Structures are given as structure tokens and as C-alpha cells.
Chains A and B, each alone.
Chain A
Amino acid sequence: MAEENAIIRTQDLTKAYGSKVAVNHLNLDIKKGEIFGLLGPNGAGKTTTILMLLGLTEPTLGSAMIAGYDCTRDSMRVKRITGYLPDNVGFYADMTGRENLRFTARLNGVPEKEIDSRIDELLERVGMTWAGDQKTGTYSKGMRQRLGIADVLIKDPEVIIMDEPTLGLDPEGMREFLQLIKQLSIQDGRTVLVSSHQLYQIQQICDRVGIFVDGALAASGRIGDLGKQIASEGHYLLEVEAEPTDDRFLGFLSSLSGIRDISKEGDHFIISSSRDLRTEITAFLGTNHYTLLHLRQKGGDLDEIYRVYFEKAEEKEKEDRNARLGSGRHGKGRVRGSAEK
């Protein structure tokens, strides 16, 4: 639908290291001006994808484009309009914050006359004016991240790519940092691609997310849409607590149809099912003189979405593996298990 104004686009982007496929036929469309969250566990291929977008590593297959420039062949132009905040950003420890920024500005060919005023402005913006003349070796993690934002902005990029930017920040620093990222998109109209495995934090600021598992995109879209999608596919997760918690109640729960799994977490039962069970459970509790203490339908939040897609991708992989193995020793049981869904 947004084919026309996609600023970052990958087509069948694939990267293999030997026989290990780090990124597998990734098709990504990121619209101009949005914040896109690339979410996935460690080792899912997020950093590799980013490296390919910046032309720092060559794709095995497929292509990536930023603003119409091919990321591999035209990487200089791409790097001129793209700011990159790497995971665990580092600065030259013997130079002050200002000197570090000045160096980046010169690398990008910012005119000498403009450099100082731009540095002042950016330091102010990230709230680092007070530390601009300190050596960066003395900076804390949070300060380095802020300076990193200033460093990215000094070239006035259209696209900003951040790799795990919130890692290691304290809650307060995290909140302010996310605010800063949000501003980049809303005030400046820049496109932001954030990769992370910290779902809750990123959820707050992303327009759209892509769930990235084992090198492939398991799902992408608005968070709300993803939640609905899961529900419509029959993934429900219910938290129930009732008094008394006896075997009869548990027996009733396991007798319900469509139950996939029941587990106990503290005093709650966590029931995973393929349909909405709330009416039946409340009816049962009411007629049998139980006291309902807690009932909550989970889902719709990122953690849940993530869990479901992650499980789905894992199951799919197992299926693939079993299909490859044919009728292997353990093959049948697993295929049947996942086919029940």
C-alpha cells in the first residue's frame, strides 16, 4: 500500500555465513518519517541486516535500497544521508565531546563555519551542553548514547538507524532517550529504524514493528494490528485466579475444549487456548460458589505478540526440519503436535 514512499526497502535480502543463514529473504518496506522497530532475540540477524543497509557487508542475495540508492554499490551516498548509532557506541576517549563531534562533521564535509554552531545546537538538544568539553573517556553509558545521537544528527541525516540503543540505560535515562528518538521522527520528519530485543521500551515509540526471528520477518505491522491478528488466529492467553484453588477447578479447566496448555504462575493459572474461554469460566465459577479473584485476557501487548510469533517461527522451523528428515525417528510426533493447531 505504501509502495511509493518507502525510503528503506529490501528485496529478498539474504546473508549467509558459510552454511549459516543470518538473514533469510528479508523483504522490508519502511515509510518516510516513521519509526520502525526491528524486534527480535539476540542473534536473529538484526545487526547483519543493518550492516547490509549501510553497505558495510555485502548481501549474499537480494538488494537493499535507501532513498533510491543501492546500499551495496552506492554506499557512499547512502552513508551521507544515513546516520548510524551502533550498538555500544564508542568515542575517542582522549578527545572531548565537542572534538568528537567536530571530527564527524569534518568527515561528512560540513562547512567549517557551520560546525561550531551546529555542535552547540545539537549538544543543547540532547542535553549535553554541560559535558561538551569533558573528555568522552569520563562519560557514562547514558551520556555516550546522547552524544551518539548528536553525532548521528550532525550530518543532518534523512534516515537514522540505531542498533540496540536502549541497552544498559537506567529507567530514567531510557525514558528521556526514547523521548529524544520520538522527536527525531515527529519534529524533524526523519525516518528511524530501531533494532532491539527490549520490547516494552520500543513498543512505546514505534509506529510499526517487524518481528525478526532466525533471519526472517515473522510478522510486521502496527502493534495493535498484530494483536488482533494473533487473536483472530486463535491465540488466547488467560490469567485466572479463584478461591478456593482446588482440583475440581483445575479439572474443569482441563476439560474445556480448545485448551492448549495450563500452567501456574504464583497464584494465577495461565491458560493458553485457541478460543475465548471467559464466559464459560465465569459461568462455572458462579454456579459452583467460587470467588473470582482475578481474570485477565492477555494479548495485544508486544510481549505477547512477540512470544506467539517467536513460537510460531520455531514450530515452523521444526516442521521444515522434520519435513526434510522425512519420517525420522522423532518426526511423526512433532508434526502431529504442531498440526493440531
Chain B
Amino acid sequence: MQGLEVEGMEKAVSAAALKNDLQTSQTGGLEKNSRLLSEPEERERERKALRFHSMSALYRKEMADHISSKRFVIILAVMAALTVASVYGSMTGIRSELADSGSSMDLSNLFLRLYTTSGGSIPSYMSLIALIGPFIGIILGFDAINSERNSGTLNRLVAQPIYRDSIIIGKFLASATLIGVLVLCSGITVGTAGFLFSGIRPSGEAVMRVLIYLLYTVVYICFWQLMALLFSVFTRYAATSALLSIALWLFFAIFVGLLAGVIANGVYPVNTDYEQSVNMIHYYNLNLGLNRVSPYYLYSEASTLIMDPARSTMGYSYAQIIDAYTGFLKQGRSYLSLGQSLLLVWPHLVGLIALCFFAFETAYVGFMRQEVRGN
């Protein structure tokens, strides 16, 4: 109680002082004012410079570390194989589809099919990335903090004039940059290769769609990197955090879907015809809502909406569907326009970014509170 009073009084006093300062600065002219402000300002500038210095040093080091590491070679090889395989697969897929349906095939957005078509036994680029992407994120993040702690470099690092959050941010940014570069390179390669080999020319809209899709992919993979980083803060061994990350990925990719079905069926049973006629819509909405907890589902849904505008009318609330349909009718088209697609997927992006923030904040708070000592 007393403490509060004192604090309150101090505030009142400092407010009075501030008022005084303002008055003197108004009356006393500019010179006095600048003198009053200069010291904290300078300190602030100094702090910012320091933050930038140390963070950029760490960023450069992390970057160099990643690029010269063996695991980066593996990531590159995987990405290259994935890109080449999916280009080959989609080309065979499109070719056989053309041969089957002949001139009746819908040729709109053919360019996008380079990313969405599976061919032979090879899945589409989109599903391959959704599968492999998280692993790339995890590989880049799972030992970020705990390996430094175990090798005794972390306590040397935190004893340098670097803010602790700069350590996490620097590490995140370095990995995020690599993820961005990798995803863009591979995504653009698919389009370019498709264009060169098949002569499918992209429209401006298709290019926009691809870029937006790649942006989602980067955010999605960054989420997995952050999750791995989070585990690396809280676990002692790199292997533990890698296993936890992979377990979480499996949970989101496979079990959330199963669980959502079971739970939705428990709440709104759809086992008999009667139940179906009464509960179907509730069951469906609940099932979808639960599924959307999973970043894997969010990402898959968003990428389908962006990349497969003709097929994607599944899985939205009524309001959204009506919105989108009125959009169709106005424009007289059989698929979602870019604007309509974006309207449907922006919540997904917000959701993914929110998940990223959640992972980052938890890692950040955990790391700030940890005591770093030798071994």
C-alpha cells in the first residue's frame, strides 16, 4: 500500500517536472530544450546501434553456419529432387489428361496446374511441399539454442553485449531468409521449367497466385522452424527437440484430422440417415473448425484456394460461399477471381502468422527467463 502511494507520488512529481520542462523549453528557447532531450536520445540511439551491430553479426554468423553445414547440402538436394520430380510428374499428368479429354479440357489456369497436378506415382508440387516443407523448417531450427548450450558457446555468447532477444531474433531471421530463398527458387524453377518445356504461358494473374502461394509456403515453413526453435529452448538435447517437432508435425498432419472427425461425430452424430439430415451441417462446421486448429490444414486449404480456383468451393462458411458466389455471378466466371481467392484465404494467413507469433513469443519468454550457466 505504502509502495503504491510512493509510486503515485513520484509519478505526480515527475509529471510536474515534465510540465516545468515544457514551460521552460517554450519560454527558454530551443537551446535548453535540445539539451534536455539530448542525453536520453543519445542513449536510445546508442542502444539501437548496439542492437543492430550485435544482431547483424549473429545473423551473418548463423547464415554462414547454415550454408557451410552438411545439413544444408541435404536440404538443397531434397529441394532440388522435389522440384525436378514434381515438374516431371505434373507434365506427365497434364499430358495424359489432355490425351484423355482432348479439346474438351478446361485450359484456363493451365499454368497453375504445373503446381497442382500429380502424375504417374509422383504427387503434385503442392502436396510435396506441404509434406517436406515442415522438415526443412525443423532441420533449420531444432538445435538452435540447445546445441549452443551443450557446446558451451551460449554462455560465452550471452556474456557479450548482445540483448538476449537479439539472439533468438537473429537466429530466426537467418533461417527464415534461407527458407525464403529456397522456396522462391524452387517455386520459380517449377514455373520456368514448365514454361520452357511445355510452352504454357502464365498470365499475370497466375504469376500473382504463384507468388502469393509461395509467400504462404514461406510463412508455413517458418512456423515449423519456430516450433523447432521453441523446443530447442526448452529441451536439453537436440535429438529431443527434433523428435518433439516431428511428433507435433505428425499430430497436426494426421491425428488432428482423425480426432476432429471423432469429436464432431460425438457432438453431432451422423451415423443414421435421420441424424445426417439433422446434424450434417453442424457436424461439418465443427469438423472443419477443429481441423483448422492444425497449421497443416490451414496451409493446405489456403494453398488449394489460391492455386486451384476452379475446384475450390469446399469448406467455407455460408457467408463466405455466398460472398464468393456473388463474386462469380458478377463476373460470369466459373472460377474464383484472384480477389475472391484472397478474400477467402486472408484469415488463413492471419492464423498462420498468429501461430508463428505464439511459437516465437513462447520461445522468447522461455529464453529470457532461463539462467544460462556452464554445462
> Interface on A for B, CB 8 Å cutoff?
47, 51, 54, 56-57, 76-77, 79-80, 82-84, 86-95, 103-104, 106-109, 148, 151, 155, 163
Contacts and interface: CB of A to CB of B under 8 A. Distances in A.
Contact of B160 (A89, A92, A107): A107
The bracket for how many chain B residues form the interface is: 20 to 34
Contacts of B61: 92, 103, 106
Contacts of B374: 47, 86-88, 163
B273 to A, nearest CB: 62
A99 to B, nearest CB: 8
B44 to A, nearest CB: 13
B53 A90 contact: no
A104 B68 CA distance: 19
A140 to B, nearest CB: 15
A107 B152 contact: no
Contacts, number: 82
A106 B55 CA distance: 10
A104 B158 CA distance: 11
Nearest to A100: B153
A79 B160 contact: yes
B65 A56 contact: no
A108 B156 contact: no
A88 B152 contact: yes
B152 A106 contact: no
B50 interface: yes
A108 B159 contact: no
A109 B58 CA distance: 12
B161 A94 contact: no
B57 A107 contact: yes
27 contacts: A47-B374, A56-B371, A76-B50, A76-B163, A77-B161, A79-B159, A79-B161, A80-B161, A84-B155, A86-B155, A88-B375, A89-B156, A90-B151, A90-B153, A91-B153, A91-B156, A94-B69, A103-B61, A104-B156, A104-B160, A106-B54, A106-B57, A106-B60, A107-B53, A109-B49, A109-B161, A155-B160
Question: Across chains A and B, which 6 residue pairs bring their CB atoms closest together, nearest first?
Answer: A90-B152, A106-B57, A84-B159, A87-B374, A90-B151, A79-B161
Contacts of A83: 159
A107 B61 CA distance: 10
B1 to A, nearest CB: 22
B162 interface: yes
B69 A54 contact: no
Contacts of A104: 156, 160
Nearest to B56: A106
A86 B313 CA distance: 60
Contact of B57 (A84, A92, A103, A148): A103
Given A56-B158, A106-B57, A108-B161, A94 B152 contact: no
Given A106-B54, A151-B156, 8 more contacts: A88-B152, A90-B152, A92-B65, A107-B57, A109-B54, A109-B161, A155-B160, A163-B374
A89 B153 CA distance: 7
